[in-house]
Structure 1
Amino acid sequence: MTIKNTLKAALFGLTALGISAPAFADQLADIKAAGKIVTATDMHYSPFDMIIDGTYQGITKDIFDEVSKELGVEPLYQDIPWTAELPGLEVKKFDIIIAPVTITPERLERYAFSLPIADATVGLIRSANDTETKAPEDIKGKAVGVQQGTAQAAQLQMFGDKIGGITMKEYGTTDEAYADLATGRLQAVAGSLPNLAYLVKARSETFALLEPTTFGEPKYFAWAMRKDADSASFVEAINTALLKMTDDGRMKAIQEKWLGVNPVLPREVPQD
């Protein structure tokens, strides 16, 4: 008897005894039945997530609004500290993390990822009036800020070790690191290229990009979901919506609105 026929026979036997067969959970079906997707993000990570005049705005919101329309549900946006997001996802406090999460081999083992939504290559900024910190190697021996628990922090630490050591200071939000850079408590801040470029464009009198700005291997931002059988159809639906947005021009319009450029992003989830 095949496995398929054995399963059918077992289910028939349960029915004959008046016992209901176990229901198979499906996250996408549950979301559609509820009519909403519960999300988590850190709304202090411009230009992806930010509060402007009391309203949540940014690249992430614009993209996820469209994805939600494709799935036929309403998004529920929650502002949650980054350090609480991955643990919260694992215990099912929300359906998806839409705060930009850098794809890394270690995270790929534990979480399912959407297709990339942006470039996440790590770079550096300095104070606009700092004439000594010009290139990435110039941060040797200096105080450099970065957001706590991020892939950028890990890359900064490795780069610092490579060039002879830095004093790395970790912050709960990038805004806190930028504030200390502006007041001279730091000599540089590390972060993803889109975040840094947006900040310098908005506050060129205060901050400047190092040249070259980036170091390390190219990385990408994506959204994180649970990696289990229940979530497989949900992950597929998210990626199908993102590909549709790429092909019909909506992704391009959102990227250009916030960044002024339209980076070419992989159509598959990078595995390194």
Structure 2
Amino acid sequence: MRNKVISALAGAALLMGGAAAAQAQDALARIKEAGVMKVGTETAFAPFDYIDAGEHVGLNMDVFAAIGEELGVEIEWITLDWAGVLPGLEAGQFDVVAGPATITAARMERYRFTPPIAEATVALLKSAKDDSITKPEDIAGKVIGSGHATAQLAQLEAFGETLDPAPETKDYVSFNEAYADLAAGRIAGVANSLPNIAFVAQQRPEIFEVVAPFGTKTYFGFPGLKDDDHASLMDAIDAALLKMKADGRLGEMQQKWFGQTFETPDAVTEPNI
């Protein structure tokens, strides 16, 4: 009987020790042990993430494939609408967000951002047949769309307040829906980041045309959690991105997906918005 009690106590001690060891691991250690990093994103933000002929493609796919190689792990993609991506991160559904998201002062209070991967300055997309819009100020009094809960929508609304009459803003769950409404003539323009609308206009030049940027110069980064548990993971992702930037791989990916490269700082400490 005594031997059974000792054996049971030893087993319990091993279980408790294993649980304590698991608790002691931080996010990076858990990811490396599992061999998988979960990445949350949407798939309606071309050319960062989108579906082409049924396949998930875009800059983010290439960037995170390279980050996975640097960390020695596989990437597991979890996709949902943008409005649910940042709440999903906070709920622990994934380890980091591919998004990407415009780096803003408000977001930096809540999330830790990686080094910028591209410029995010807001510009306007209009119909190639619409001669009434030749500059951003021409959207006064018109209906302009943008993405729900995005920095692009916030900048559109702020810019609209400087015009008389102010444009009517319409927010969309997906930018693809906004582009469809623009092509159908239901709205006069779409406010999105310059890389995004330049890509869309390049794909369909007979339908869309880019108007000069009107927003404050900003940058895209990948958001993660800023707690101690995720610090080493974000450090590792930052190091991987800076290595890719230094050896030219990031620039090659920008050229592939945007048709141009962007000069970006190694970190954003004081966002312009």
**TM-score normalised to the size of structure 2?**
0.90
Helix, strand or coil: the match of 2:152?
helix
1:37 aligns with 37
1:108–1:271 Cα contact (<8 Å) kept: no
CA apart distance, 1:25:
4.1
Quote the residue 1:207 is aligned against: 208
Q: How does 1:118-197 map to 2 (within 5 A)?
A: 118-164=118-164, 165-197=166-198
Structure 1 counterpart SS, 2:78: coil
CA contact (8 A) 1:141 1:166 kept: yes
TM-score by length of 1: 0.90
Residue in 1 that maps onto 2:46: 46
Counterpart CA distance in 2 for 1:50 and 1:155 is 23
Asked if the contact 1:103/1:270 (under 8 Å) is kept, the reply is no
Q: In structure 2, the residue corresponding to 1:94 is in which secondary structure?
A: coil
Structure 1 CA distance for aligned equivalents of residues 157 and 246 of structure 2: 38
Q: 2-side partners of 1:216 and 1:70: how far apart?
A: 35
CA contact (8 A) 1:103 1:219 kept: yes
> How many Å apart are 1:88 and its aligned residue?
0.9
Q: Residue 122 of structure 1 contacts residue 191 of structure 1 at CA under 8 Å; is this kept in 2?
A: yes
Query: Aligned residue for 1:14?
Result: none
**Alpha-carbon shift at residue 51 of structure 1 (Å):** 1.1
Aligned equivalent of 1:250 = 249
Query: Structure 1 regions of 5+ residues with no counterpart?
Result: 1-18
Q: Is the CA contact 1:60–1:98 (under 8 Å) kept in the aligned structure 2?
A: yes
1:142 and 1:135 mapped to 2: Cα distance?
Answer: 13
Deviations 1:160-184 (A, max 9, x none): 0111311100001110000000111
Residue number in structure 2 paired with 1:101: 101
- Are the equivalent residues in 2 in contact too, given 1:115–1:268 (CA < 8 A)? yes
Stretches of 4+ aligned residues off by more than 3 angstroms? 19-25
Instruction: Measure how far apart 1:108 and its partner are.
Output: 0.2
Taking only the aligned residue pairs, the percentage that are identical comes to 44
Asked whether the equivalents of residues 140 and 167 of structure 2 are also in contact (C-alpha less than 8 Å), the reply is yes
Q: Which whole-Å deviations, capped at 9, do the CAs of 1:138-197 have from their partners, x for residues lacking one?
A: 001100000100000101001001113111000011100000001111011100000000
Deviations for 1:223-255, whole angstroms, at most 9, x for unmatched residues?
110110101101100000001111111111111
Secondary structure at 1:269's aligned position in 2? coil
Shift of residue 264, structure 1, vs aligned partner = 1.1
Q: How far apart are 1:269 and its partner, in Å?
A: 2.7
Distance 1:262 1:111 in 2: 26
CA contact (8 A) 1:43 1:56 kept: yes
Gaps of 5+ in 2: 1-15
Aligned partner of 1:67 in structure 2 is 67
SS in 2 for 1:47: coil
- Distance apart, 1:258 and its partner CA: 1.2
